[in-house]
Chains A and B, each alone.
Chain A
Amino acid sequence: MQMRRNRKWMGLAAVLAVLAMLAGACGSDEEAVDDGLFRIAVVAPSASNDLAFTQSIVDAVHVLDGVDVIDITDGTFIVADAAAAVRGYAEDGYDLVIAHGSQYGGSLQEIAKDFPDTAFAWGTSSDTFGLDNVSAYTAASDQGGYVMGAMAAVMTSSGVVGVIGPIAVGDAKLYVDGFVNGAAAQDPSVTVNVNYIESFSDVALAAEAAEAHIANGADILTGTAQMVVGATGVAAENGAKWFGTQSNQTALGEDMVVASQVYKWEKALQGIVNGVKNGDLGGSAHSINLENGGIVIEFNDGVDAGDARAIGEGLIADIKARMVDTGA
């Protein structure tokens, strides 16, 4: 009796498997959509509302002109999943497919060759792989880092500032380098401890890194990438101030976040969209910075930064006027 029941289940499983394969086979022949609408797809590693890297691109694509359809696949922290999503969007005939993460570069390089008539964009990077259908975008995050590093050097009482980084690549490294240089330029006596935890997603380790900074005397912290939500909790618990980057992070602590460097990727993406519409599928690199308005420092009026705010505003003006070298 048991054997018969098992056979029945196995038979049902086999039928379901065949149906699934047939459905898959039908799906792969799907025709690309051609209805005159301009379609953008975004593939990004973390949640759309992570108050950091992914949210910055999601916010940006929603304010672009001339875009009719926007599709987002977020949470693809596994590169293979992201690659499958990018390829799927290309097969479905999207006009511009954005792979938002420097870890996606290798996959995109392969996929873009298979779809020469589809435009791709990826960041943060300035490498287009020599392909005419790939645009690259990056952020001069060192600029905001420099401004906020200088502010932190003015505000610290202990003379120690802590930085939590993910992996020393891309805009994360630029931001950290800019922050360190800004603090050193403002006050060389201030110690800036940097801790790259070698992960973009380990919230618990980021929190412990913040604890390490606090234990070593830091009263001001900053960090970049989506795992910093763990560190902000530690900062709040210990009365430390926080400088944010990528998105406005004031929601993580209205009496803690002094200022946030906010990415306005639309300043780079609008040019890419316009180019695609005019038949230029890519081949160039785009950068957002303070000067072109792609990077904005948003101050939190809920925190009294004292003299630091004026110093920060002055540095923003100087960087825009190219009077300051961030050294990154």
Chain B
Amino acid sequence: MTDFFTMASLVFVVGSGIRLATPFLLAGLGETIGQRSGVLNLGVDGVMLLSAFGAYWTILETGRPVAGLLVGLGVGLVMGVVYGVVTVTLRAEQGVSGIGIFLFGLGMSDLLFQKKVGTPLPIRGFGDWHVPVLSRIPVIGEMFFQHSVLVYLAFLLVPVVAFLLNRTTFGLNVRAVGENPAAADSLGVSVARVRYKTILLANGLAGLAGAVLSIELGIFQQNLTNGQGFIAIALVYFGAWRPVGVMGGALLFGMVSATVLQWKTLGLVSGAASSLTAMAPALLTIVALVVISRTVGQPAALTRPFERGR
């Protein structure tokens, strides 16, 4: 166990935890915006998969990571339009619609991958960007300031989303629509318009999360996300629908995963204990979810379609 309590080990765990948290954070921030307006999207994982493929294929064809990132974002926005039409305009049940989006994304991303690419070929992403001056600080620099630019982007979005939700008129409308859409409507706020905007933002960020995943891994494979979109949804509950809380949950999940990886690499856990520790991130999240759900209420209109006069 003494091998674990070294500075090198700590640097790895923190750096790895931050990297692992990034896709969860992006998707979770988007889902937070959506849920605050009363829209649950269980299709996050499907959107991530389609965007991950879109970004991967674009980079494979063009060699340009920026183009891949934009395509991933674009795919997310397109899926947002689809989800908006289904859940806001057609007022379909959100849970089932989200599962439909997930299954569509899972199947379509694999189909496109098989038809357009076939054998997985590596791509080159952005690479790590060492933040000038800060990256040279001993220990701290290596932990926090030697990551891909996409990692910094994700964490910078936390205060941006928090500001958007808590300090702007748009954010006020989002929260009003998520708590009491009838009251918001009576005050002249277009519930449909607000929800379309939040769905686009949510899916756009889910698209970015998927793109980040394939770009950072430098590869695409069937079901690349491995359920990360669903964990991101759980982290929204974990974070009590607040951007900072979602970031905390994502970091906790990432750090625990990284710690378990480091334990295994150093041979500190093996056999049955190894299997048990692999469940640790999920178990911790569930425990936290139970605790938080008893103390914090979800947006009152979450999952409820709005229809004026009903």
A47 B114 Cβ-Cβ under 8 A: yes
Q: Quick check: is B118 within 8 A (CB to CB) of the other chain? A: yes
B257 A208 Cβ-Cβ under 8 A: yes
A194 B258 Cβ-Cβ under 8 A: no
A233 B219 Cβ-Cβ under 8 A: yes
Q: Quick check: is A77 within 8 A (CB to CB) of the other chain? A: yes
Q: Quick check: is B213 within 8 A (CB to CB) of the other chain? A: yes
Closest-CB distance, B141 to chain A (whole angstroms): 15
**Residues of B close to A167: CB separation below 8 A:** 275
Given A195-B261, A208-B19, also A203-B221 (CB < 8 A): yes
B119 A49 Cβ-Cβ under 8 A: yes
B265 A209 Cβ-Cβ under 8 A: yes
- CA distance in complex: A109, B34 (Å): 46
B265 A233 Cβ-Cβ under 8 A: no
Q: Quick check: is A212 within 8 A (CB to CB) of the other chain? A: yes
**Residues of A close to B121: CB separation below 8 A:** 251-252
**Residues of B close to A197: CB separation below 8 A:** 261, 264, 278
* Chain B 266-310: CB-based contact to A (< 8 A → 1; otherwise 0): 110001001100100000000000000000000000000000000
- CA distance in complex: A75, B223 (Å): 9
Q: Tell me the residues in window 181-223 of chain B with beta carbons closer than 8 Å to chain A beta carbons.
A: 213, 217-219, 221-223
Q: Quick one: closest B residue to A233, CB to CB?
A: B218
Q: Tell me the residues in window 171-215 of chain A with beta carbons closer than 8 Å to chain B beta carbons.
A: 193-199, 201-205, 207-209, 211-213, 215
Query: Count of chain A residues with Cβ under 8 Å from any Cβ of B?
Result: 42
Interface residues on B, range: 35 or more
Q: Quick check: is B120 within 8 A (CB to CB) of the other chain? A: yes
**Residues of B close to A194: CB separation below 8 A:** 264, 267
B265 A195 Cβ-Cβ under 8 A: yes
B16 A203 Cβ-Cβ under 8 A: no
Closest-CB distance, A140 to chain B (whole angstroms): 23
- CA distance in complex: A204, B23 (Å): 10
**Residues of A close to B258: CB separation below 8 A:** 208, 212
- CA distance in complex: A178, B231 (Å): 36
Q: Quick check: is B112 within 8 A (CB to CB) of the other chain? A: no
**Residues of B close to A202: CB separation below 8 A:** 226
Q: Tell me the residues in window 210-238 of chain A with beta carbons closer than 8 Å to chain B beta carbons.
A: 211-213, 215-216, 226-227, 229-230, 232-233, 236-237
| Interface SS, B side | helix
* Chain B 36-59: CB-based contact to A (< 8 A → 1; otherwise 0): 000000000000000000000000
Closest-CB distance, A166 to chain B (whole angstroms): 11
Closest-CB distance, B21 to chain A (whole angstroms): 11
Q: Tell me the residues in window 88-133 of chain B with beta carbons closer than 8 Å to chain A beta carbons.
A: 110, 113-114, 118-122, 127
Q: Quick check: is A282 within 8 A (CB to CB) of the other chain? A: no
**Residues of B close to A216: CB separation below 8 A:** 8, 12, 265-266
Q: Tell me the residues in window 126-151 of chain A with beta carbons closer than 8 Å to chain B beta carbons.
A: none
Given A49-B119, A51-B119, A213-B265, also A203-B219 (CB < 8 A): yes
**Residues of B close to A203: CB separation below 8 A:** 217, 219, 221, 224, 226
B221 A226 Cβ-Cβ under 8 A: yes
- CA distance in complex: A21, B35 (Å): 36
Closest-CB distance, A271 to chain B (whole angstroms): 29
B261 A47 Cβ-Cβ under 8 A: no
B12 A212 Cβ-Cβ under 8 A: yes
Q: Quick check: is B228 within 8 A (CB to CB) of the other chain? A: yes
Closest-CB distance, A189 to chain B (whole angstroms): 16
13 interchain pairs (CB within 8 A)?
A49-B119, A50-B222, A75-B222, A75-B223, A167-B275, A193-B266, A194-B264, A199-B226, A204-B224, A209-B265, A212-B262, A216-B8, A236-B218
* Other 8 A-B pairs with CB < 8 A, given A46-B221, A195-B265, A205-B20: A51-B120, A195-B261, A196-B264, A201-B221, A212-B261, A216-B266, A226-B221, A252-B122
Interface residues of chain A, those whose CB is within 8 Å of chain B, are 46-51, 75, 77, 162, 167-168, 193-199, 201-205, 207-209, 211-213, 215-216, 226-227, 229-230, 232-233, 236-237, 251-253
